[in-house]
C-alpha cells in the first residue's frame, strides 16, 4: 500500500500527488510529452480541430436550449426564435454553422498533411485509422445536424442519403444485397417525418458527440508511443533527444516539450485561424448556410438542385456518374479507400511526398482530383460536367488501385 | 520562407475549391437574368413574347410609352380617381381572388409607366396575360372600359404620382405591395394584415377561420398559396430577388405571380422589410464583428511574442 501523509492538507499538491500522481500525469501528457522540433504550422491543425470542436459543443449547447425537434416547429425555432428572439442567438447559430463547415476544411488539411508527410505508416497506422474513424463520425454528425433546421435541403438530403441504404437492385445476385424495408426502418416512416427528425436529433446531440469524444481520446492515445512525425520523416531517438533537452542542450536536441513550447506555436496559429474564423462568422457565413435550406421542408416540392454541403461533394460525385448499383459500389469504395492507405502504400519510406518519386505525382494528382470532384459534385449533371465528373471518379478509383504498385517500386532513400 | 510557401499552397487550393463550389457553381446553376433598373418599358416582355403575342405586346407597350409623354393633369385625374375608389377603398374585401390594394402610397411604390400600363390593361401590365383568354377577365380587367382615353390615363397617373404619396415605411410598403397574397409570419402578418389581440380563444379561432377563407380565395386565384416571405431574403440571392420582383416571368416562366411594378424606391422599402423579418441581426453583426476580430488580432500578436519567447533559444 502506498504511503499517505496524514498531515497533508486536503487538495494540496502533495495530497493530490499521493492520490492521483498529478506530477507524473502532467509530465506524461504535457511537459515531457516530446514533439519533434522540425515541424511547420500544419502540425497545429490537430489543436485547431480540438478548439473548433470545443466551439461546436459550446455553441451547440446554447442552441439546444431553444431548438425544438418537432417537424411543425423546428424550422421556426431555428429561424425565428433563435435568430430574432434570443439575445445573440444569431451569433451562436452563425458560429455553429460556420464552425461545422470550417471544421471539415481543417480536417482535410490535417488529413492531406498526414498523407503528404507519410504519417500513416511504420508505427503510426493506428493514428491514421482512428483519425479516419473521426472523419466518419464527424461526417455523420454534420449530416444529422443538417437535418435539424428542417428546411428543404434538410428534408431532401435526408431523403436521398437514406435511400442509399436500400442496397443494390433486387436483380443483382438474387437480391442478397437488397434490403427491402430497411430504409423505412431507418427513417421510422415511409418518408422523412417526425420519427426521422427526432432520431437524428438524438444522434446529433447525444450519441455521435459522445462517440466523437471517445475517439478523440483514442486518437490522442495512439499518438503517444509512435510520436508525432516531423517535416523530413526522420526517425528520432526520443529518449536521447529528451535527455539532451532536459540537460539544457536545447539547440542540439531534436525535440521540444508539448507544453509550453509546442503549445505556444499552436496558440499563435490558432490566433491566426480565429481571425479568419470570426471574419467568416460575421461577414461571410453564406457559404456555410445554403439558401435552399431557408425554405421550409416541403415533401411535395423537390428543389431544382439537390446537393450536399461542400465537404461531401467529392464522394457524392463518385456516386453520381454511374448507374445505381455501380454508383453504390464506387461510393462504398470512396468511403473506405482512405482507411486502407497504410496498407496500400507498400513503401517503407517515411518522407515528404515531394521526395518520393512517383508518389509525388500520385499525391498531387489526388489533390487535383479531389478538388475537381468537389466542384463537379455541385454542378448540375449536364453535358461536359458529367463527363469531367465521370473521368475524375475513375481517376480516383484508379489512383488507389495503382498505389501498391508504384510504392512497391520505390527505392529506400 | 518555407512556412509561407506552404501557407500559400494551402490558401490557393482552398480558394480554388471555394470559387468552384460557390461563385462558379451558382453561376452555372441559375440562369442569368439581367434586370432593367425597375424601368417598365416592355422591352423584356417583347423580347420574351411568343409569336402570336409579339404584335400585341409591341403595340401595347408602344402606346404606353406614348402616353407617358403626355403631360398629365392631376386635378382632372382626381375626379377620375373616384372611379378607382369603388374597389380600392381599403375595405379589405376580396374581389375576384384578391383584396384590391390600398393605394395610399401608390405614388411612391409604383413606377409611372407601370401605372399607365396597368390602367390600360392590367393583365398585360403585370405580364400574366397568358392566364386569360381575354384580358377583360382579369380581376381589374374592367378598368379597360372605365378609363379609356390616353389623356385620362395620363391624368389619373399624374394624380396618383403627386397626391398618393407619403412617408413610405418598410412595413407599409410590404403590406400594400405584397401582403395581400404573401403572409409574413415572422412579421406577424397574414393575408388579412396584422392579427389583432383577442381576449378569448374562440375569437382568435374565428379570426383564423377568416384567414383560412381568404387564403382559399387567393389559392384559387393564383393556383397555389403564394409562399410566406418571412425569411425569403435569405432563401434567394439579392440578384434573384431584384430581377424576380421586377419581372417574375424571367425567373419562373409561366408563374401566376403578377408583376407588381415597384419603383426603385418601392423595391428598397420592401427589401428593407424583408430584411427586418428575415435577417434582423445584420446591424448587430456589423457592429460587433470588427471588435471580435480586433480581439483576436491582439490575441495573435501576444501569442506571437509568447511563441518567440519559447523558441528563441531552440535554434
Return the pLDDT at B313: 85
User: For residue B150, which of B125, B121, B111, B109 has the smallest C-alpha distance?
Assistant: B121
Tens-place pLDDT, residues B178-212: 999 999 999 999 999 999 999 999 999 999 999 99
Contact B185 A41 (CB under 8 A): no
Q: How many pairs of residues across A and B have Cβ atoms under 8 Å apart?
A: 132
The confidence band for B218, taking pLDDT boundaries of 50, 70 and 90, is very high
Locate the domains of chain B by residue range.
39-282
Contact A291 B292 (CB under 8 A): no
A411/B237 Cα distance (integer angstroms): 55
Tens-place pLDDT, residues B245-297: 999 999 998 899 999 999 999 999 999 999 999 999 999 999 999 999 999 99
Domains of chain A: 43-226+263-306 (1.20.810.10), 317-413 (no CATH)
A256/B271 Cα distance (integer angstroms): 57
By Cβ distance, the residue of A79, A268, A379 closest to B300 is A268
Q: Identify whether the C-beta of residue A353 lies closer than 8 Å to the C-beta of residue A360.
A: yes
Return the residue in A149, A271, A308, A366 with the most chain B beta carbons within 10 A, the one to mutate for interface testing.
A271
The pLDDT of residue B154 is above 90: yes
Contact A289 B234 (CB under 8 A): yes
* Contacts of B208-215 spanning 24+ positions with Cβ under 8 A: B214/B94, B214/B99, B214/B190, B215/B190, B215/B191
**Residue B31 exposed, middle or buried by CB count within 10 Å (0-12, 13-18, 19+):** exposed
Cβ contacts of A98 within 8 Å, gap of 6 or more: A277, A280, A281, A285, A288
Closest-CA residue of chain B to A277: B293
DSSP-assigned letter for residue A82: I
Which residues of chain A have a pLDDT value below 70? 1-2, 411-413
Return the pLDDT at A411: 67
The pLDDT of residue B175 is above 90: yes
Distances (CA, A) of B134 to B16, B63, B87, B273: 53, 19, 21, 36
Return the pLDDT at A1: 55
> Which chain B residues have a beta carbon less than 8 Å from that of A83?
280-281
Helices (H) and strands (E) in chain A, counts: 17, 2
Return the pLDDT at A216: 98
Return the pLDDT at A412: 57
Return the pLDDT at B49: 87
Return the pLDDT at B287: 97
Please state the rounded mean pLDDT for residues B113-126. Answer: 94
Return the residue in A265, A315, A382 with the most chain B beta carbons within 10 A, the one to mutate for interface testing.
A265
> Which chain B residues have a beta carbon less than 8 Å from that of A287?
18, 22
How many angstroms separate the CA of residue A227 from the nearest CA in chain B?
20
Contact A292 B235 (CB under 8 A): yes
B176/B187 Cα distance (integer angstroms): 14
> Residues of chain B with pLDDT > 90: what percent?
78
Contact A294 B234 (CB under 8 A): yes
Return the pLDDT at B145: 87
C-alpha cell at position B188: 406577424
Return the pLDDT at B237: 87
The pLDDT of residue B135 is above 90: no
How many angstroms separate the CA of residue A163 from the nearest CA in chain B?
24
Strand pairing partners for A255? Answer: A36
Average pLDDT, chain B: 93
Amino acid at each position: 500500500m502506498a504511503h499517505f501523509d496524514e498531515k497533508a492538507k486536503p487538495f494540496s499538491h502533495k495530497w493530490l500527488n499521493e492520490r492521483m500522481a498529478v506530477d507524473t500525469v502532467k509530465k506524461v501528457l504535457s511537459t515531457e510529452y516530446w514533439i519533434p522540433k522540425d515541424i511547420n504550422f500544419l502540425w497545429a491543425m490537430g489543436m485547431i480541430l480540438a478548439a473548433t470542436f470545443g466551439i461546436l459543443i459550446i455553441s451547440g449547447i446554447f442552441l439546444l436550449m431553444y431548438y425544438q425537434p418537432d417537424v411543425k416547429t423546428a424550422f421556426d425555432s431555428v429561424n425565428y426564435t433563435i435568430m430574432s428572439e434570443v439575445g445573440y442567438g444569431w451569433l451562436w447559430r452563425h458560429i455553429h454553422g460556420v464552425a461545422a463547415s470550417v471544421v471539415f476544411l481543417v480536417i482535410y488539411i490535417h488529413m492531406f498533411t498526414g498523407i503528404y508527410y507519410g504519417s500513416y505508416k511504420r508505427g503510426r497506422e493506428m493514428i491514421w485509422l482512428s483519425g479516419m474513424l473521426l472523419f466518419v463520425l464527424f461526417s455523420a454528425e454534420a449530416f444529422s445536424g443538417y437535418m435539424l433546421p428542417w428546411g428543404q435541403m434538410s428534408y431532401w438530403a435526408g431523403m436521398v442519403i437514406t435511400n442509399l441504404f436500400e442496397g443494390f437492385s433486387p436483380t443483382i445476385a438474387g437480391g442478397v444485397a437488397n434490403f427491402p424495408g430497411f430504409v423505412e426502418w431507418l427513417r421510422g416512416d415511409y418518408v422523412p417525418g417526425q420519427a426521422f427528425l427526432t432520431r437524428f436529433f438524438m444522434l446529433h446531440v447525444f450519441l455521435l458527440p459522445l462517440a466523437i469524444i471517445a475517439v478523440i481520446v483514442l486518437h490522442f492515445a495512439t499518438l503517444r508511443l509512435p510520436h508525432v512525425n516531423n517535416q523530413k520523416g526522420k526517425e528520432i531517438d526520443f529518449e536521447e533527444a529528451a535527455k539532451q533537452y532536459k540537460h539544457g542542450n536545447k539547440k542540439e536536441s531534436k525535440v521540444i516539450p508539448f507544453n509550453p513550447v509546442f503549445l505556444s506555436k499552436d496558440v499563435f496559429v490558432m490566433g491566426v485561424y480565429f481571425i479568419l474564423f470570426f471574419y467568416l462568422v460575421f461577414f461571410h457565413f453564406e457559404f456555410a448556410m445554403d439558401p435552399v435550406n431557408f425554405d421550409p421542408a416541403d415533401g411535395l416540392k423537390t428543389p431544382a438542385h439537390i446537393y450536399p454541403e461542400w465537404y461531401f461533394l467529392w464522394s457524392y460525385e463518385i456516386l453520381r456518374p454511374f448507374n445505381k448499383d455501380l454508383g453504390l459500389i464506387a461510393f462504398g469504395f470512396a468511403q473506405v479507400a482512405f482507411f486502407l492507405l497504410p496498407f496500400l502504400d507498400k513503401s517503407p519510406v517515411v518522407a515528404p511526398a515531394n521526395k518520393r518519386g512517383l508518389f509525388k505525382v500520385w499525391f498531387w494528382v489526388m489533390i487535383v482530383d479531389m478538388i475537381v470532384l468537389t466542384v463537379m459534385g455541385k454542378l448540375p449533371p449536364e453535358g461536359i460536367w458529367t463527363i469531367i465528373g465521370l473521368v475524375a471518379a475513375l481517376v480516383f478509383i484508379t489512383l488507389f488501385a495503382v498505389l501498391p504498385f508504384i510504392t512497391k517500386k520505390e527505392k529506400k532513400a | 520562407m518555407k512556412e509561407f510557401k506552404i501557407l500559400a499552397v494551402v490558401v490557393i487550393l482552398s480558394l480554388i475549391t471555394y470559387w468552384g463550389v460557390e461563385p462558379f457553381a451558382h453561376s452555372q446553376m441559375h440562369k442569368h437574368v439581367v434586370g432593367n433598373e425597375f424601368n417598365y418599358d416592355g422591352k423584356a416582355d417583347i423580347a420574351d413574347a411568343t409569336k402570336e403575342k409579339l404584335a400585341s405586346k409591341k403595340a401595347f407597350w408602344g402606346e404606353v410609352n406614348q402616353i407617358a409623354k403626355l403631360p398629365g393633369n392631376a386635378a382632372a385625374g382626381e375626379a377620375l380617381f373616384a372611379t378607382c375608389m369603388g374597389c380600392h377603398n381599403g375595405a379589405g374585401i376580396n374581389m375576384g381572388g384578391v383584396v384590391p390594394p390600398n393605394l395610399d402610397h401608390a405614388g411612391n411604390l409604383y413606377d409611372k409607366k407601370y401605372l399607365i400600363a396597368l390602367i390600360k390593361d392590367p393583365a398585360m401590365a403585370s405580364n400574366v396575360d397568358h392566364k386569360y383568354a381575354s384580358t377583360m377577365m382579369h380581376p381589374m380587367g374592367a378598368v379597360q372600359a372605365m378609363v379609356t382615353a390616353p389623356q385620362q390615363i395620363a391624368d389619373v397617373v399624374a394624380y396618383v404620382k403627386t397626391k398618393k404619396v407619403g412617408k413610405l415605411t418598410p412595413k407599409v410598403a410590404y403590406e400594400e405591395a405584397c401582403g395581400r397574397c404573401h403572409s409574413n409570419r415572422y412579421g406577424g402578418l397574414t393575408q388579412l394584415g396584422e392579427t389583432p389581440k383577442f381576449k378569448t380563444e374562440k375569437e382568435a379561432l374565428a379570426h383564423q377561420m377568416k384567414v383560412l377563407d381568404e387564403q382559399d380565395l387567393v389559392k384559387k386565384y393564383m393556383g397555389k398559396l403564394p409562399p410566406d416571405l418571412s425569411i425569403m431574403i435569405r432563401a434567394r440571392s439579392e440578384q434573384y430577388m431584384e430581377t424576380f420582383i421586377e419581372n417574375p416571368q424571367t425567373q419562373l416562366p409561366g408563374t401566376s405571380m403578377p408583376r407588381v411594378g415597384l419603383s426603385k424606391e418601392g423595391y428598397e422599402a420592401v427589401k428593407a422589410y424583408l430584411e427586418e423579418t428575415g435577417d434582423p441581426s445584420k446591424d448587430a453583426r456589423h457592429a460587433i464583428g470588427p471588435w471580435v476580430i480586433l480581439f483576436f488580432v491582439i490575441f495573435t500578436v501576444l501569442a506571437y511574442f509568447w511563441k518567440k519567447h519559447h523558441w528563441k533559444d531552440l535554434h
